[in-house]
Amino acid sequence: MPRPRMFDEADVVDRARRTFAETGFAGTSLDDLLEATGLARQSLYNAFGGKKELFMRAFLSDTSSAVDAVSTVMRSAEDPIVRIRTKLVSTAVEHGSAAASPSLFLRAAVELSGSDPEVAATVATAFDDIRADYTACIVDAQHAGEIDAGADAEALGTYFCAVIEGMSTLGRAGVARATLLQMGLTSLTAVPITPLGHERLGTEDGAWT
């Protein structure tokens, strides 16, 4: 009968996620993982199979969290146009001035998508899911009369995916929150928002704050 594990598997995966996010797959050694997780070498092999397998567990977990974070806001009870502004503002606040923890999802997308088909496919699917959530929110805003019904919802969904992920990346590079906030709110001016949409944003004076 196998001995019960004396560690929390989810905690180990999270510690590995943070380590890989900080130093990347190539820059993280097995010894780094053993130090970060507190596992003995054989315990790590027995539980996860090795460095690559533990990386994939951590990467898939972080990717799922990234997709869920967008979905939660885009499907919230706020007016659809306000959901988009909420995501823009929260991205600036959370990621500005390198305040947020590094993202393994984005790190892996940059480091490994060109060389690892499994990572590339996972990243592509995740971005498709994120883009679909933004697009669905735009459609909701059109149905609610907040965005011009003739606008290309899919193009706008892709646009906000690019803007918000770009803001996150710039924030991790140290760009200030105020700068990111200005970028995010300015991006709304490219959207054909109706008078009702402006009213729900509270923009009668033309200022998003």
DSSP 7: S
* List of long-range contacts for 30-33, beta carbons under 8 Å, 24+ apart: none
pLDDT at site 98: 86
pLDDT at site 5: 60
198: confidence class by pLDDT, cuts 50, 70, 90: very high
The residue count for the chain: 209
Q: Check pLDDT > 50 for residue 207.
A: no
Average pLDDT estimate for 121-139: 97
- Record the tokens describing residue 33, joined without a space: 């993982």
* 81 half-sphere exposure, CB direction, 13 A CA radius: 26
- Record the tokens describing residue 83, joined without a space: 């959901």
Q: Check pLDDT > 90 for residue 170.
A: yes
pLDDT in tens, 59-104: 999 999 999 999 999 999 999 999 999 999 999 999 998 888 889 9
Q: Check pLDDT > 80 for residue 22.
A: yes
Mean pLDDT score across all residues of the chain: 92
Domains and CATH numbers, the chain: 62-201 (1.10.357.10)
**Cβ atoms 96, 177 nearer than 8 A:** yes
pTM exceeding 0.85: yes
pLDDT at site 204: 42
- Record the tokens describing residue 15, joined without a space: 């510690």
pLDDT at site 46: 92
Distance of CA 90 to the CA centre of its chain: 12
